[in-house]
Amino acid sequence: MQHINFKYFIYFFCIVFASTEIKSQEEPLSKEVKLQNDFIEAFRLEQIGKPEKAIEILEKLSYEPTAKSTAKYQLARLYEKEKKPDQCITAINESIQADPKNKWLYIYKANILQKYGNYNQLAECYVSLTKLEPTNYTFYDNAAISFMKDNQLDKTMAILDDAQKKFGNSPSIAMKKSNLFVIQKKEKKAIETLENSIKEYPYHTELYPELILLLEKNNLIAKAKEYEINLAKYDQGHPFLQKNISQSNQNTPSIETVQQQIINSDINLDQKIKLIIPILQNYVESKDPNLKIELTNFGKSILNQYPNDAKSYALQGDIYFHSSEYELAKESYITAISKTNAPYSVFENLLYTTHQLESWNTQEQFATKALDYYPNQSYPFYMLAEAQYHLESYDAAILNSNQVILMIRNNPARKSEAYTLYGKILSAKKDPKAAEIWNKSIESEASPLAIIEHHLYQLSIGNTTHQNDFEKAINSKDITSFTKNISLAKQYYENNKYQDAIELLKKNIEVKEFQRPSYYILLAQNLLKIENKTEAKKYLQQALLLSESKTKIQKWISELN
| Per-residue pLDDT reduced to its tens digit, 141-191 | 889 888 887 878 899 999 999 998 888 888 888 888 988 888 888 889 999
Domain ranges of the chain: 1-116, 503-561
Q: What is the mean pLDDT of residues 402-415?
A: 81
Q: Rounded to whole angstroms, how far apart are CA atoms 319 and 263?
A: 19
Helices (H), 429-480: 434-440, 448-460, 467-474
Q: Would you place residue 18 in the very low, low, confident or very high pLDDT band (cuts 50, 70, 90)?
A: very low
Short-list 20, 11, 100, CA closest to 66: 20
Task: Flag whether pLDDT at 6 surpasses 50.
Answer: no
Q: How far lies 446's CA from each of 104, 133, 199, 471, 526, in Å? A: 23, 17, 18, 14, 30
Would the pLDDT of 2 be above 60? no
Please list, in sequence order, all residues whose beta carbon lies within 8 angstroms of the beta carbon of residue 288, skipping any fewer than 6 positions away: 282
Higher model confidence: residue 230 or residue 242? 230
Rounded (5°) CA angle 107-113-114: 90
What integer is the mean pLDDT of 468-491? 89
What was the pLDDT predicted at 24? 43
* Element containing residue 370 per DSSP (H, E): helix 360-373
Percent of the chain whose pLDDT exceeds 70: 91
Whether 246 shows a pLDDT value over 80: the answer reads no
Confidence of residue 433 (pLDDT cuts 50, 70, 90): very high
User: Looking at residue 161, what is its pLDDT?
Assistant: 92
Task: Look at residue 369 in the predicted model and tell me its pLDDT.
Answer: 93
Other C-beta atoms closer than 10 Å to the C-beta of 141 total: 22
Q: Which amino acid is at 479?
A: I
Query: What confidence category does residue 306 fall into, taking pLDDT thresholds of 50, 70 and 90?
Result: very high
How much is the average pLDDT of 312-331? Answer: 92
- The architecture in CATH of the region 1-116 reads Alpha Horseshoe (1.25)
pLDDT at 487: 93
C-alpha to C-alpha distance for 260 and 283, rounded to whole angstroms: 20
pLDDT confidence of residue 251: 53
Banded model confidence at residue 253, pLDDT cuts 50, 70, 90: low
pLDDT score, position 5: 42
Mean pLDDT of 512-541: 92
Mean predicted lDDT score pLDDT of the chain: 85
pLDDT band at 21, cuts 50/70/90?
very low
Summarize the confidence of residues 517-531 as an average pLDDT.
95
User: Averaged over 240-247, what is the pLDDT?
Assistant: 58
Whether 95 contacts 72, CB under 8 Å: yes
Report pLDDT for 47.
82
* pLDDT confidence of residue 256: 77
Q: What average pLDDT does range 39-66 have in this prediction?
A: 83
DSSP state of 18: I
Question: Band of the pLDDT at 511, cuts 50, 70, 90?
Answer: confident
- Higher pLDDT: 35 or 392? It is 392
pLDDT band at 444 (very low <50, low <70, confident <90, very high): low
